[in-house]
Structure 1
Amino acid sequence: MSSLIGDKGYDGDGFRAEIVDRGAKPVIPNKSNRVTLHSFSKRAYKGRNVIERCFCRLKDFRRVATRYDKLARNFLAAVHLAAIVAYWIN
């Protein structure tokens, strides 16, 4: 079963029901003011941080962040180059 990982901003009953209807499991932490608490996998949620950091690193490159390229293939090439440079620096 696939899962959808989101932050606390997506903690709504309607959104959770939509995720379940589409065949995925919601991995969303509960808001502090939620009355009925839902369980979620803290282990799976920790992986979200890695993806967030990856996108943050790619947005450090101005060409990727502002999407200068008109064509999708050129933009994808810029993303690939930015990913290579970001990996190379670390």
Structure 2
Amino acid sequence: MALGRSRGGFPTKIHLKTDLDGHPPDFHLTGGEASDTTEFETSLDIGPDIRPRIAVTDKRYDSRANRVAARARGITPVIPRRENSKERGQFFPKRLYRRRARIERTIGKLKRFKRIAMRCDKTATSYAAFISFACALILVKSVHAT
């Protein structure tokens, strides 16, 4: 279920998959109370049938299972360790992680649509449809900008 329940309304998380240029080929929704760690493999499997070389995420996706799942698919995980991780101190490619800023900019572009930022839709289907429309506009604008 993609719409959670809380006093504030319908909290929803958008798990956005982008390329390193910030173009969003696909996404999936979960309820706001769902853990991000469990959605990593789903994020790897959605979208066009393209094999990425790296998966850049934030700390919310940090787990040994996610790193193993990425490596099993031939993908290098670029996931920073949490503060309480027992495996801290290992090598971390900071140069690759800096590219995550482009992904954050894409999320910012999505949040410019008031309907997405405010999560006004009552059903997950209509919310996902509008996110798809916004992603299409972002892709079209990126093609015409160059």
Q: Which TM class, normalised by the smaller chain length?
A: 0.5 to 0.7
- Determine the C-alpha separation between the residues in 2 that align with 1:41 and 1:62: 35
Q: Hey, which bits of structure 1, 4+ residues long, moved more than 4 A?
A: 66-71
Aligned-residue CA RMSD (Å): 3.3
- Determine the C-alpha separation between the residues in 1 that align with 2:83 and 2:109: 30
1:16 deviates by: 0.7
Per the normalisation by structure 2, the TM-score is 0.45
- C-alpha change, 1:80 and 1:42, in structure 2 (3 Å) is same
1:11 deviates by: 0.9
Question: Higher helix share goes to which structure?
Answer: 1
Post-superposition Cα deviations, 1:12-59, rounded to whole Å, max 9, x if no partner, equal 001110000011000011111111234221111111112112221232
Mapped pair 1:80 → 2:137: yes
Q: How does 1:53-72 map to 2 (within 5 A)?
A: 53-62=105-114, 65=116
The percent identity for this pair of structures is 32
SS of the residue corresponding to residue 16 of structure 1 reads helix
1:81 deviates by: 6.6
**1:3 alignment partner in structure 2:** 54
Per the normalisation by structure 1, the TM-score is 0.68
Gaps of 5+ in 2: 1-51, 120-125
Gaps of 5+ in 1: none
Mapped pair 1:36 → 2:93: no
- Determine the C-alpha separation between the residues in 2 that align with 1:32 and 1:7: 12
Aligned residues: 82
